[in-house]
Structures are given as structure tokens and as C-alpha cells.
Structure 1
Amino acid sequence: MKFQSRIKGIMLVIIGAMLWGISGTVAQYLFQKKDFSPEWLVAIRLLASGLILLLYAFIKGNQDIWTIWRSKHTILNLILFSIIGMLGVQYSYFAAIKYGNAATATILQYLSPVLVTCYLAICTKKVPNSQEITAIILAMLGTFFIITKGNIYSISISKLALFWGISSAFAAAFYTLQPRSLLAKCGSTVVVGWGMLIGGIAFSFIHQPWDFTGKWSITSIFAVIFVVLFGTLIAFYCYLESLKYIQPTEASVLSSVEPLSAAFLSVLWLHIPLGMPQWLGTACIIFTVAILSCTKNKESIVEF
């Protein structure tokens, strides 16, 4: 793969992860300050983003949004991606925050690079190379320092927080690996759009979108708009689009800039100072990006 394509893929996943980190902080504001329900926010963000993305693809006219429904195999993959991947990673992460806190939820979710690497190693019957192992270790270490300030004993995990956090890691790994054949056939706009809409419809049977609790204000309205448009629509699109240019392992590890963006937003918005452990974590993640940027690209080995 050409160098320019790799850089494009790396930039896409970094942008998507940064928007995730920022929207996570915004969502936390809605939960804690405005008493919004995580279930309502998940349903609304999936339904609204899915409809907007499919409408965009339809109006643009360069993709047939119905092609994905013309094959039984494609339909099955789409449903699996929508329920286990899209809805799974959305709800499990917010549920982990609800029953625990953002720190534990983020740390547990970032077990997904390890799961992705192990899966690929099993598929290829090859041990990950030294660069991949180094990058994964640095990403995990950086995430740990940023979220915990270097003190593992400051993390308290309830049974439900642990369950949903581990579930989030598996959902994120599935989300990274499973849709590659769908993306090759139908394009990221159609795949993400249908994934969000189907996931939102499925979740609506569990929690109706009109079942709302919370406090509306100008700031909460803008917060919801940001979560739907930037933290969901654009972020997920960028992440899946990046899989056309870089490996799933690389995308999963590079997405660890999510806690980095959340940390910087905490400094700028909440005026929380960063200590030495957080800056050490920042350095680790920057080195992760540098290592993966220089890693030779390998052909995709995953087919679903």
C-alpha cells in the first residue's frame, strides 16, 4: 500500500478516536449534570446518525443504499455488525460508565487491541511482530497512565462495571474485524449508516426513544447535537473508513488517542491539571503512532 494511503488511514482513525474522546466527556456531562439516561442517548444517537448518513448517501447518489440487502450472506453480516458491533460497543461502554466510571470503562475497553492481535495471530498461526507488540504495550501503558494517574489502586470496579467493560472490549474488537468484507462490497457510508439505524431500531425495543429523563437547556441541546453528529456519525465513519488503508491491529491501537483527547479536554474545559503520569501516558501514545506509521503494511488476512 502506498505511503499516502497509510497516512490517510492513520489520520482518519486518529480523528475518529479524538471525536470519541471528546463526545465521551460531553456525554458524561449530560449524565452527571443534566440527568440524561445513557439508554436514551444511545438510542437517539444511533437512530439519528444512521438516518442522516443513509440520507446523505442517497442524495449524493454515488452508492446504492439497497445493494447491501440483496445477498443473504451480506444481510447476515450486516445484522451481526449492527447488533454485536455497533450497538454492542455503544451501549456496553456507556453501561460501564453508568455502573462504574469513565476511567475503568476506558481502560477495560482498551483491552480490544490485545483481543484483535490474538485473533489475527490465531488466524495466521503467526506471533505478532516486535513492532506490533511494542505498540500495543505502549498504547495500553499510555492509557493506564492517563486514566489512573499511575495508581491502579485508585480504580474501583463493581461486578456490573467489570462485566460491561469487558463486553465493551470484545464488542470493539468485533467492530474492528468483522465488517471488512462489507466495507469492500458496499462502502463505509452505507455500512455505517445501516449499522447505526438497525442497531438503533433493535435497541428501541428495549428502551423507547420517547422515554426521556433529563434537563433540557441550550448547553444540553448542543451537547446532544455534538454527540450525535461528531461523536457518533463522523467518528464511526472515520474509523471504519480507515480500515480500507491500515490493518485492524493498527486501527485498534491507534484509537487509544481517545483517552488522550479526553484528557486535553478536561484541562481546557474542566481546568483539571495534568500531572507527570498523564504526560508520560501522552508520550507513550505518541510513540505508538510513530511506530505504527513506520510499520510496513501487510495485506489483509481477515475475511468474513
Structure 2
Amino acid sequence: MEGNREKRRGIFLTLAGGMCWGISGCFGQFLFQEKGATANWLVSIRLLTAGILLLIIGYIHQGKKLNEVFHKKADAKKLLGFSVFGMLFCQYTYFAAVQYSNAGTATVLQALAPTVILAFVCIRNLKLPKGFELTAVISAVLGVFLLSTHGNIHNMMLTKQALFFGLASAIGAASYNLLAADLLRGYGVYVVVGFGMFFGGLVLCAIVRPWNLMIPLDGETLLALFGVIVIGTAIAFSLYLKGVSIVGAFMGSLLGTVEPVTAIVVSFLFLGSKFQWIDLLGFALILGTVLLLSLRSPHEEA
């Protein structure tokens, strides 16, 4: 009985963390639609502020161990590479996709990351995908086709920018996972993601200089920023990681599909995003790909 209660708690925490990530994209969509924000402005502020917040949480949990990653030159270089080519690239392309479409569409397109990882693994190992993996790839391609054209190859429903940044965000999420894997095993999420966001934010701030873009810092803006930075970062990571520690990585990957579903529902109900039945079919095909590829055993990704 106690074990079942703990498992239900783990499922709840994992789902809550995924939902927080989904809501985060919707807060970003609100800032783009209503406050004139841009991906440059939002991502630079989000990365820098959220990075500091995660590092504070990490220091509370780990103390001075937080800096151990810099004691090994090779790991420090990996961390800096992850900060730019993993964290910054992933976050920027995702919020740019939100800016040019909506949170639901952007989050679903980013969910193509497992397909990108599968392609990378097959190329690296010089092997063809297995039957169910090939089915998953075909499902993903068909889903993107329906989402972007509604079944008519001569009719683009998504803007070129939305499709470009949406697919780029899938590549970004894949590179994020591939570049972070060894570091996460060695140092933990608060060190890797915290410093990754912090350094990525510093780089982007130096390039885009967000202080030059005048955004009205009224109550709505501050609430939306709280949603993106605190709910979508500190709370989301804390809930999700605690839940996964209870239910395991496999169940966590399945429950994580609540993120795009949440983004779709919230952007439809509260932000005026319009979806047709064929969009929902495209969403279902892409999310089905995620579920199917989650059935792979861990050694198949090594």
C-alpha cells in the first residue's frame, strides 16, 4: 500500500513538472502577443535569471561541490560548449518558434527531438533503424507534413520562420540531451543546467543587449516573467526530477508528453490559438512518435 502511494506521488510530481514546462511556453507566447517582447529579449533574461536561481538552489543542496566541474579542464570546456550549443541553441530556437507560431505548435515540434537522436545514433553506429523505429520516423514526418501544410503540399499553414525554428528546436533539444548526458551523470542537474543557463544567458545578453528593448514592466509582464523563469524553470525542474527519481526514467519519459499537451490546451483556452482537426492529427502523430521511441531499451541509445 505504501509503495503504491509513493508511486502515485511520483506520477503526480512528474506530471506537475511537465505541465509547468508547458505553461512556461504559454507565458512566453503572452509576452510576444501582448507586450511586444521578442525571443532575443525573453531568452536572454530567462537564461541569465533562471541560471542564477538554479545555482542558488544547487548551492543549498550541494554547497561548494557546485564548483567541482571547474576543477577538471575538460569538463569545464564541455560545460561551456553545452551552454552555447546545447542550452542557448535549444532555448532560443524554442521561444523563437513560439514567437512565430504558438506555444502548442512549438512544443510539439520540439518533441521531435527523440527522432533526431535516433537519426544520430543510427548514423554513428552505421545501422538502419529497426521496424518500429522506422514506423516512428514515418509518423513524425507525416505529423510535421500535416501540421505545416494541412495535407496540401502547395499550401503552407505555418510560416517559414515557425517551421524553421520549430524543427531547429528539435535539433536543439537533441543536442541539449546529447551534450549534457555525461555532465549530468557526473555533476547533477543543478550544476549543469544552472551554469548552462547562466553562461548561455551571458553570451546572449552580450549579443542582443536586452536592456535596449523597452518592454512595459507592468504587473502582467512581471507575472508572465515569473511564469517563464520560476514556474518554468526552478519549480518545473524540481518537481519533475523528484518525480522521476520515484517512478524512473522510462515512466518519466512517457509522462513528459504532458508538456506539449498542456501547451496546446492552455494556448487554445487562454491565448486564442486556433487549431483545426488536422493540426490535432499532426500533433497526435508526432507525440505518438515520442511514445513509441520511449519503448527503446536504454542500451539502444548508448
| Same fold? TM cut 0.5 | yes
**Contact 2:111/2:290 (8 A) holds in 1:** no
1:140 and 1:223 map into 2 onto residues whose CA distance is 33
Which amino acid letter does the alignment assign opposite residue 202 of structure 2?
I
**Aligned partner letter, 1:228:** I
Residues 82 and 194 of structure 1 are in contact (CA less than 8 Å); yes or no, is this contact kept in structure 2? yes
In 1: Cα distance, 2:299 partner to 2:63 partner: 27
1:120 counterpart residue number: 121
- The two structures, once aligned, show a CA RMSD in angstroms of 4.0
Amino acid at match of 1:21: G
User: The residue matched to 1:183 in structure 2 has which SS?
Assistant: helix
1:155 maps to 2:157: yes
Residue matched to 2:68: 67
Question: Larger deviation: 57-66 or 188-197?
Answer: 57-66
User: Shift of residue 83 of structure 1?
Assistant: 0.4
Match of 1:101 in 2: 101
Q: Equivalent residue for 2:211?
A: 210
In the TM superposition, what is the alpha-carbon distance from 1:210 to its structure 2 partner? 3.0
- Residues 36 and 155 of structure 1: is their aligned pair in 2 closer, same or farther, counting only changes over 3 Å? same
How far does the alpha carbon of each residue in 1:231-275 deviate from its partner, in whole angstroms, 9 at most, with x for none? 23444677889699658xx95x98665443222113332466754
Give the partner amino acid of 1:191. Answer: V
Give ranges in structure 1 of 5+ residues lacking alignment: 1-6
Counterpart CA distance in 2 for 1:61 and 1:93 is 30
CA pair 213-106 structure 1, distance change in 2 beyond 3 A? same
Q: Report percent identity of matched pairs.
A: 38
Greater shift in the superposed pair: 88-97 or 283-292: 283-292
Aligned length: 291
Match of 2:298 in 1: 298
Structural mapping, 1:18-57, within 5 Å:
18-57=19-58
Give the letter for the 2:220 counterpart: T
In the other structure, the counterpart of 1:4 is none
Cα distance per residue 1:143-187 (max 9 Å; x no partner): 6656776666242544x6565445433322211211111011101
Contact 1:143–1:256, Cα closer than 8 Å, also in 2: no
Q: Deviations over 1:46-87 (max 9, x none)?
A: 111111111111112377101111111101110111001101
1:113-166 Cα distance to aligned partner (Å, 9 max, x none): 3321111112233323333333444455556656776666242544x6565445
- Secondary structure at the aligned position of 2:211 is classed as coil
| Cα distance change on mapping 1:268 and 1:167 into 2, 3 Å | closer
What corresponds to 1:76 in structure 2? 77
Q: What amino acid does structure 2 have at the position aligned with 1:127?
A: L
Aligned equivalent of 1:87: 88
- Deviation, 1:89, is 1.2
One-letter code aligned to 2:121: L
Structure 1 residues 121 and 292, CA, compared in 2 at 3 Å: closer, same or farther? closer
SS at match of 1:179: helix
Contact 1:16 1:239 in 2 (8 A): yes
> What TM-score, normalized by structure 1, do the two folds share?
0.76
**SS of match in other structure, 1:171:** helix
Q: Report the counterpart of residue 226 of structure 1 in structure 2.
A: 227
Deviation at 1:23, TM superposition (A): 2.0
Superposed, 1:216-255 pairs within 5 Å as 216-235=217-236, 246=249
Q: CA deviation at 1:225?
A: 0.3
Residue 189 in 1 paired to residue 175 in 2? Answer: no
User: Matched residues in 2 for 1:203 and 1:189: separation?
Assistant: 20
- How far apart, in 1, do the equivalents of 2:65 and 2:173 lie? 27
Q: What amino acid sits opposite 1:37 in the alignment?
A: T
Contact 1:257–1:285 (8 Å) recurs in 2: no
Q: Deviations over 1:190-242 (max 9, x none)?
A: 11111011111111211234334222322221111000112234446778896
Segment drifting more, 230-239 vs 40-49: 230-239
Q: Is the contact between residue 142 and residue 285 of structure 1 (CA under 8 Å) also seen in structure 2?
A: yes
Q: Normalized per residue, which structure has more helix?
A: 2
Separation in 2, partners of 1:14, 1:131: 26
What do the CA deviations read for 1:19-51 (whole angstroms, capped 9, x no partner)?
343222221211121112322211111111111
Residue 3 of structure 2 corresponds to none
Contact between 1:188 and 1:237, CA under 8 Å: does it hold in 2? Answer: no
Tell me the distance in 1 between the aligned counterparts of 2:209 and 2:281.
43
